[in-house]
């Protein structure tokens, strides 16, 4: 069931969401649709992707974001079906266990993470921008992470480097296309309560606690809290924001000493 958000800020807009079959992407699909957008999901998870699209009356396009032709097809189908592409939430990403300390991370793992997390955003922006240029308006939201602005002793070296790349690319695109009405912002979530983190909490509370102690708000974020930020960045409520590092992180990146 789609929740009806009173603001309805996205009526008449078409939103492409990569990685929309689960986690932050799925919560955002629900929120964007709840605010009136027509949503197009690109994901490799065929069953969950289709279920998500059906739930919100949207379109599912099977898409591996590491393939330029599949990404081009995703945006083309969105345009052909709904007549425009006004919002691109480039969100698909992975953090596999093979990606760890630089001393142990092999080239294959490094490259895989770069392709899914960073090269995909290059493909998606390259595909989305020409549609937005036609209408002189668009909002691109690229998912980076709080690790793009701070370092972790528990390293995932390729992941952090990929998110730093997403942040820098978003900033540059935001500046380049600002006067064409296209806004590009990097969304930097803090640690979010996903199945992976829940597992960590259950299996190793001490490890989870080591992370939680750094978050001033004293908890992990919920996918719906990130989705609310996505809807804001997608809407005209953020019309004076572009090339922004948009941290939604419970205060983690600002903290030195945290409250008791």
Ligand X SMILES: NC(=O)c1ccc[n+]([C@@H]2O[C@H](COP(=O)([O-])OP(=O)(O)OC[C@H]3O[C@@H](n4cnc5c(N)ncnc54)[C@H](O)[C@@H]3O)[C@@H](O)[C@H]2O)c1
Task: Return residues touching ligand X (CB under 6 A).
Answer: 18-19, 21-25, 43-45, 63-66, 91-94, 116, 143, 145, 189, 191-192, 194
Q: How far is the CB of 145 from ligand X (least distance, A)?
A: 4
In whole angstroms, how close is the CB of 87 to ligand X at the nearest point?
16
Shorter beta-carbon distance to ligand X: residue 136 or 195: 195
Q: How many residues does the chain have?
A: 260
Quick one: CA dihedral 250, 251, 255, 257, positive or negative? negative
Contact residues for 29 (Cβ-Cβ < 8 A; gap 6+):
17, 20, 39, 41, 52, 53, 56, 58
Catalytic residue among 5, 131, 159, 256: 159
**CB neighbours of residue 9 within 10 Å:** 18
Return the number of the residue (152 or 178) whose C-beta is nearest ligand X. 152
Min separation Cβ 181 and ligand X, Å:
26
Please choose, from the candidates 92, 89, 75, the residue with its C-alpha nearest in 3D space to the C-alpha of residue 134.
75
Pick the closer one to ligand X by CB: 96 or 130: 96
| Cα dihedral across residues 54, 58, 59, 65: positive or negative | negative
Q: Strand locations in 19-136, DSSP E?
A: 38-43, 59-62, 87-90
Catalytic residue list contains 159: yes
Q: Which one, 160 or 235, has the nearer CB to ligand X? A: 160
> CB of 144: closest distance to ligand X in angstroms?
7
* Beta bridge partners of residue 18, listed in sequence order: 42
Active site members: 159
């Amino acid at each position: 069931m789609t929740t009806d958000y009173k603001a309805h800020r996205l009526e008449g807009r078409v939103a492409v969401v990569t990685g929309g079959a689960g986690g932050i992407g799925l919560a955002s699909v629900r929120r964007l649709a709840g605010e009136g957008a027509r949503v197009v999901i690109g994901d490799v998870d065929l069953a969950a992707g289709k279920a998500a699209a059906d739930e919100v009356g949207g379109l599912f396009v099977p898409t591996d974001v590491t393939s330029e032709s599949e990404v081009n097809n995703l945006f083309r189908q969105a345009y052909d079906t709904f007549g425009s592409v006004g919002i691109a939430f480039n969100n698909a990403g992975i953090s596999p266990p093979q990606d760890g300390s630089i001393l142990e991370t092999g080239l294959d793992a490094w490259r895989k993470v770069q392709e899914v997390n960073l090269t995909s955003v290059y493909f998606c922006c390259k595909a989305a921008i020409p549609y937005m240029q036609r209408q002189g308006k668009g909002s691109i939201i690229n998912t980076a992470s709080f690790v793009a602005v701070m370092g972790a002793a528990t390293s995932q070296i390729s992941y952090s480097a990929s998110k730093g790349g997403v942040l820098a690319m978003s900033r540059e695109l935001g500046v380049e296309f600002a006067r064409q009405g296209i806004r590009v912002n990097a969304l930097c979530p803090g640690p979010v309560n996903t199945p992976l983190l829940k597992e960590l909490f259950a299996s190793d509370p001490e490890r989870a606690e080591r992370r939680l102690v750094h978050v001033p708000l004293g908890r992990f974020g919920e996918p719906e809290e990130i989705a609310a930020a996505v809807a804001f960045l997608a809407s005209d409520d953020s019309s004076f924001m572009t090339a922004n590092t948009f941290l939604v992180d419970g205060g983690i990146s600002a903290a030195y000493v945290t409250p008791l």
